[in-house]
C-alpha cells in the first residue's frame, strides 16, 4: 500500500485488492444461487456502513434487482453496542413475495441483523437471505448466521471500506484495526456481551 496508515490505525486487516477479490467471489456465489429462471432480487442494505460493500457487490450481480436501504442504530458513536436496535429508516419497497437479500457491513452481536430480519419477515417476503462482508462470531449475542460471509474476523474494532469510528474512516479502501487509545493495554475490543 502506498499511503501511510493514519496514526489512529494499528494495522491493515484486508487490503483493497483482497476485498475486491472476495466481493467478486461472493457475487459469483450469489449469481449461482439466484440463477435463472431469474426472479427479481430485492437488495436491502443497512445504512451507513454497507454503502461501499453494496456498491461493489451489486456491480458483480448481473441479475434483475432493486435496491432499498434500511437504517438501524445500536452503537451510538463509540465502539460498544448499546444493546437495543432502533429503526432509523424504514424500507420503502414492497417485499411481499420477493426474494430479499439483506446486506450489512459486519455481523457482530447479531442484534441488528436479527431485528431487521424480523422486520422484513413481517412484510412476508418470498425468501430472505443475509450477506455480510465481515463476521465477528466471538461477539454473538443472538444465534444468527449470515448466508454469505466475506471474511471472519477476530474480536477487534475495525474501520474502513464503509465502517466508521465516530463517522470517520468510511472512505478508506481497505479495512484496518483501530489503534487502542493511549494507556489501554491491548487492541480495542468490545466489552463482553452481558449474559
Question: Which of 55, 63, 3 is closest to 28 using CA atoms?
Answer: 63
Considering only 9-17, 33-41, 59-67, 158-166, which stretch makes contact with ligand XMP by CB under 6 A? Answer: 158-166
For 163, which DSSP code? Answer: B
Which H helix or E strand runs over 88? strand 86-89
163 near ligand XMP, rule: CB under 6 A: yes
Ramachandran angles phi, psi of 63, nearest 5°: -125, 155
The answer to whether the bond into 37 is cis (omega within 30° of 0) is yes
Between the alpha carbon of residue 14 and those of residues 36, 67, 178, 182, the distances in Å are: 33, 26, 13, 24
Residue 77 φ/ψ region, left for φ over 0, alpha for ψ in the -120 to 50 degree band, beta for the rest: alpha
Q: Is 155 an interacting residue with respect to ligand XMP (CB under 6 A)? A: no
Which one of the listed residues 56, 104, 108, 135 is annotated catalytic?
Answer: 108
Residue closer to ligand XMP, measured from CB, 68 or 164: 164
- Write out the binding residues for ligand XMP, residues 15-74 only, by CB under 6 A: 46, 49, 74
List the one residue from 12, 75, 179, 187 that touches ligand XMP (CB under 6 A): 75
Per CB under 6 A, 109 contacts ligand XMP: yes
Stretch near ligand XMP under the rule CB under 6 A, chosen from 15-23, 55-63, 86-94, 153-161: 153-161
Residue 24, number of CB atoms within 10 A of its CB? 14
CB of 97 to ligand XMP, least distance (A): 27
Sign of CA dihedral 48, 84, 143, 187: positive
- CB-nearer residue toward ligand XMP: 63 or 178: 178
Give the nearest distance from C-beta 74 to ligand XMP in angstroms.
5
Cell digits of residue 141:
449475542
Is 108 a residue of the active site? yes
Name which position in 105, 125, 133, 148 contacts ligand XMP (CB under 6 A).
105
Which residues bind to ligand XMP, rule: CB under 6 A? Answer: 46, 49, 74-75, 81, 104-113, 157-159, 163-164
Amino acid at each position: 500500500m502506498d499511503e501511510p496508515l493514519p496514526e489512529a490505525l494499528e494495522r491493515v486487516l484486508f487490503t483493497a485488492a483482497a476485498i475486491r477479490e472476495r466481493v467478486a467471489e461472493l457475487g459469483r456465489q450469489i449469481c449461482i444461487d439466484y440463477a435463472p429462471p431469474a426472479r427479481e432480487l430485492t437488495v436491502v442494505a443497512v445504512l451507513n456502513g454497507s454503502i461501499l460493500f453494496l456498491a461493489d457487490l451489486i456491480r458483480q450481480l448481473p441479475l434483475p434487482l432493486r435496491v432499498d436501504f434500511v437504517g438501524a442504530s445500536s452503537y451510538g458513536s463509540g465502539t460498544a453496542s448499546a444493546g437495543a436496535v432502533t429503526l432509523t429508516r424504514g424500507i420503502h419497497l414492497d417485499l411481499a413475495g420477493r426474494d430479499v437479500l439483506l446486506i450489512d457491513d459486519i455481523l457482530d452481536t447479531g442484534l441488528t441483523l436479527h431485528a431487521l430480519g424480523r422486520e422484513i419477515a413481517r412484510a412476508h417476503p418470498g425468501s430472505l437471505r443475509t450477506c455480510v462482508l465481515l463476521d465477528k462470531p466471538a461477539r454473538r449475542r443472538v444465534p444468527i448466521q449470515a448466508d454469505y460471509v466475506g471474511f471472519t474476523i477476530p474480536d477487534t474494532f475495525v474501520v474502513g471500506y464503509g465502517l466508521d469510528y465516530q463517522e470517520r474512516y468510511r472512505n478508506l479502501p481497505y479495512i484496518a484495526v483501530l489503534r487502542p487509545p493511549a494507556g489501554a493495554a491491548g487492541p480495542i475490543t468490545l466489552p463482553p456481551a452481558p449474559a
